[in-house]
Amino acid sequence: MDAPAKAPTAPGRAPVETTVFSVLLAVSFCHMLNDMMQSMLPAIYPMLKRDYDLDFWQIGFITLTFQVTASLLQPLVGLYTDKRPLPRSLPVGMGSTFCGLILLSSAHSYPLLLVGAAFVGFGSAVFHPESSRVARFASGGRYGLAQSLFQVGGNFGTAIGPLLAAFIVVPHGQGSVAWFSLAALLGMFVLWQVGNWYARYRIANGKRPAPNLTRPLPRRRVVLALVVLALLVFTKNIYMASISSYYTFFLIDKFGVPVQTSQLMLFVFLGGAAAGTILGGPIGDRFGAKTVIWFSILGILPFTLALPYVDLFWTGILSAIIGLILASAFPAIVVFAQELVPGRVGLIAGIFFGFAFGMGGLAAAVLGVVADKQGIDFVYNVCSYLPLLGLLTIFLPNMRHMR
C-alpha cells in the first residue's frame, strides 16, 4: 500500500492531500466482496421459500434480522472507532461474514437461517464505518470521489450476487453458498494489508495539528439537516428494499418468467445502481451534494410511476434508469452529513450505512406483510410515489456557500 503523503493539513480536511488510489481501490474491492456475499441472501430467497415453505413475512424477517443487526451496531462501532480507531477490525468483520455464509449453506431449519443472517449483518456493522473512514483518509480531500469509489464496489458486489446465485446456487443448491466463503478469506487478506496502511497513516499523522472541527452551522440547523438526510435515506431504501427483496417475485408473478430470468433482471437494476454510485460522488464534488440529491430523489419519479404498468422489456429499461439515478444520491448524502459534523466520520458513516440497512430491513418486513395480503403489484404501486418525499431537500443548507 502507498504511504500517506506528507502535506500540510488544511482546516477541516484530512491530512492526506494526495488521493491514495491503491487504498481506495483495495477497500472498494473488499466492499465488492463483502456486498457480493451479502447479496447472496436475497438472491436465494425464491429457493429458500420453496425449500422451507416460507411465507413472504418470513422472507422479510430474514432481511430484517440481517439488516437490523447491522443497523443497531454500525453507529456504535463508528462512535467507538472515532475515539479509538481499530485498524485490525476490518478483517474481523469479514470473518463474521465468512461464518454467516457457512451457517447459511449448512442450515436445516429456519432459526439457523436467521442466525446466519445475523452473522452476515454483524460483518457489515464492523466493515462499513471503518472502511468508510479509511476511504476518507485516503481521499486527498476529494471526498465525493472517494465515497463513490468505495460505495461502487459494494454496488457491483450487490449486482454480481444475483448472477452468481442464478448460475451457481440455484443449480447446485443451498450447500454451494459455502463456496463463496473463499471470497471472504481473500477479503480478510486484503483488509489486513489495508489495516497495515491505516496503522502507518495514524503514526505518520499523529503529531500534526488537529483539523478544524467547528460545526459550519448552528446546532439546530445541523440537526434539522441530518433529520432531512435521514428521511431521504429512508425514502431511498424503502424503494430499494422493494426491488432487492421482492423484484424477482414481482417479475415471476406478473410476467411468468423463470427464476434465473428474474435474477438477471435484478442484476440489470443493481448494475444501474452501481453506475449511478460512480457518477454521484464526482458530480457532487463538482456541482455540490445538494444538487445531486435534488436530481436523484425527485428525478426518478416519472420512472417509478410508470414501472408497474409497462411490459417486460420496458420494466428492464426503467429499472436500470431508476437504479442509475437513485443510487447517485447516497455518496452525496454521506459526504454532506460528514461535512455537517466534522470529526465524526465513523459515527456518520455508521448512522447512515446503518440507517440504510435498518430501514431497508424494516421496509422489507412490512412490505412482505403487505404483499401477503394485497399482492406484489399493490406494493409496487404504493412505492412508486415515495420519491415525492425528495421535496424535503428544500430544507437542506447550501454547503458550497458555507465553505
C-alpha cell of 110? Answer: 429456519
Rounded average pLDDT over 13-17: 45
pLDDT, tens digit (0-9, with 9 covering 90-100), for 319-346 = 999 988 988 888 888 888 888 888 777 7
Is the predicted pLDDT of residue 10 greater than 50, yes or no? no
Instruction: Give the pLDDT confidence score for residue 193 in this predicted structure.
Output: 92
Rounded average pLDDT over 261-267: 83
Instruction: Give the pLDDT confidence score for residue 26 in this predicted structure.
Output: 93
Domain boundaries, the chain: 21-402
Rounded average pLDDT over 210-217: 62
Who wins on pLDDT, 354 or 28? 28
- Written in H, E and C, the secondary structure of the chain is CCCCCCCCCCCCCCCCCCCCHHHHHHHHHHHHHHHHHHHHHHHCHHHHHHHHCCCHHHHHHHHHHHHHHHHHHHHHHHHHHHHCCCCCHHHHHHHHHHHHHHHHHHCCCHHHHHHHHHHHHHHHHHHHHHHHHHHHHCCCCCHHHHHHHHHHHHHHHHHHHHHHHHHHHHHHCHHHHHHHHHHHHHHHHHHHHHHHHHHHHHHHHCCCCCCCCCCCCCHHHHHHHHHHHHHHHHHHHHHHHHHHHHHHHHHHHHHCCCHHHHHHHHHHHHHHHHHHHHHHHHHHHHHCHHHHHHHHHHHCHHHHHHHHHCCHHHHHHHHHHHHHHHHCHHHHHHHHHHHHCCCCHHHHHHHHHHHHHHHHHHHHHHHHHHHHHHCHHHHHHHHCCHHHHHHHHHHCCCHHHHC
Task: Please give the model's pTM, rounded to 2 decimal places.
Answer: 0.67
Instruction: Give the pLDDT confidence score for residue 94 in this predicted structure.
Output: 92
* Residue 189 banded pLDDT, cuts 50, 70, 90: very high
Instruction: Give the pLDDT confidence score for residue 303 in this predicted structure.
Output: 93
CA 350 to mean position of chain CA atoms:
11
Is the predicted pLDDT of residue 191 greater than 90, yes or no? yes
Is the predicted pLDDT of residue 96 greater than 80, yes or no? yes
pLDDT > 90: what percent of the chain?
11
CA-to-CA separations, 226 to 80, 165, 341, 391, 398, in angstroms, rounded: 20, 37, 9, 15, 13
Looking from the CA of 233 toward its CB, the CA atoms found within 13 Å total 26
Who wins on pLDDT, 385 or 263? 385
* Residue 12 banded pLDDT, cuts 50, 70, 90: very low
Answer yes or no: are the C-beta atoms of 130 and 81 closer than 8 Å. yes
**CATH class of segment(s) 21-402:** mainly alpha
Instruction: Give the pLDDT confidence score for residue 30 in this predicted structure.
Output: 93
pLDDT, tens digit (0-9, with 9 covering 90-100), for 113-155 = 999 989 988 998 888 888 888 888 888 878 888 888 888 888 7
Who wins on pLDDT, 378 or 400? 378
Instruction: Give the pLDDT confidence score for residue 25 in this predicted structure.
Output: 92
Is the predicted pLDDT of residue 5 greater than 70, yes or no? no
Rounded average pLDDT over 236-245: 79
Instruction: Give the pLDDT confidence score for residue 315 in this predicted structure.
Output: 92
Instruction: Give the pLDDT confidence score for residue 211 in this predicted structure.
Output: 57
* Residue 91 banded pLDDT, cuts 50, 70, 90: very high
Answer yes or no: are the C-beta atoms of 48 and 112 closer than 8 Å. no
Q: Of 107-121, 154-168, 174-188, which gets the smallest average pLDDT?
A: 154-168
Answer yes or no: are the C-beta atoms of 288 and 398 closer than 8 Å. yes
Instruction: Give the pLDDT confidence score for residue 311 in this predicted structure.
Output: 92
Q: Each residue of 148-184: b (16+ CB within 10 Å) or e?
A: bbbbbbbbbbbbbbbbbbbeebbeeebebbeebbebb
Instruction: Give the pLDDT confidence score for residue 340 in this predicted structure.
Output: 86
The average confidence (pLDDT) of the chain is 81
Taking the CB of residue 209, how many other CB atoms lie within 10 A of it? 9
Can you tell me the distance from the alpha carbon of 284 to that of 210, in angstroms, rounded to the nearest whole number? 26
Instruction: Give the pLDDT confidence score for residue 17 in this predicted structure.
Output: 59
C-alpha cell of 150? Answer: 468505495
Instruction: Give the pLDDT confidence score for residue 14 in this predicted structure.
Output: 40
